[in-house]
Each structure stands twice: as C-alpha cells, then as structure tokens.
Amino acid sequence: MDYKISANELKTKGVSAIKEATANYPEAVITVRGKSRYVVIPIESYNHLRECELEAAIIESKKDIKNGKYVQESVEDHIKRLVR
C-alpha cells in the first residue's frame, strides 16, 4: 500500500510531507489534480531497486552470451549499426 500526497500538500508542507509518508509507508504517491503522477521512495529503496535492475541485466546478458545472441565488432561498425 502507498500513501498519497497531493501537490498542494507538498507545496505547503514540503519535504516534511514526504518524510512523514515514507516513515510509515514504503512509498508515497504524489497526486496532481487527483491523478497519481509521481512516486517517492527512500534512497535506500531506490538503491535496492537499481541493484535489482543491474542484477537482472547481468543475468540477461549472460544468457544472451550463452545462447550466442551477441555481436562482436569494432567500435566503428557498432556505431554504424546503431545509426542505421
């Protein structure tokens, strides 16, 4: 479950609104005109998510290498292939 903070509440309370929300909930959703627009999480949670993304990328890359799904080429050839 997440905690919702309106843009107006964020304007009036500032960072203290975020601090209060993330002290009791794993994340806070910032709403603008009643619609969810942004998510705020503590930096530790963000760093953990980034580590998980990097771990997933490494696993996927190792799988691609194992299955021969990669290209070995010069830098020049790589750039040419990217800009086609």
Per residue in 2-60, pLDDT (tens digit) is 799 999 999 999 999 999 988 889 999 999 999 999 999 999 999 999 999 999 999 99
Pair 24, 48 in one domain:
no
- Read off the tokens for 82: 């990217």
**What's the whole-model pTM score?**
0.69
Both 53 and 78 in one domain: the answer is yes
Considering the domain architecture, whether residues 48 and 66 belong to the same structural domain is answered as yes
**Residue 84 binned pLDDT confidence (cut-offs 50, 70, 90):** confident
79, 48: one domain: yes
Residues 79, 52, single domain; the answer is: yes
Q: 68: phi > 0 → left, psi -120 to 50 → alpha, else beta; which?
A: left
The whole-number pLDDT of residue 65 equals 97
Residue 1 in this model has a pLDDT that exceeds 80: no
Q: How many structural domains comprise the chain?
A: 2
What domain range is 48 assigned to? Answer: 44-83
Shared domain check, 49 and 79: yes
Based on the fold, state whether residues 9 and 32 are members of the same structural domain: yes
Average confidence score pLDDT of the chain: 94
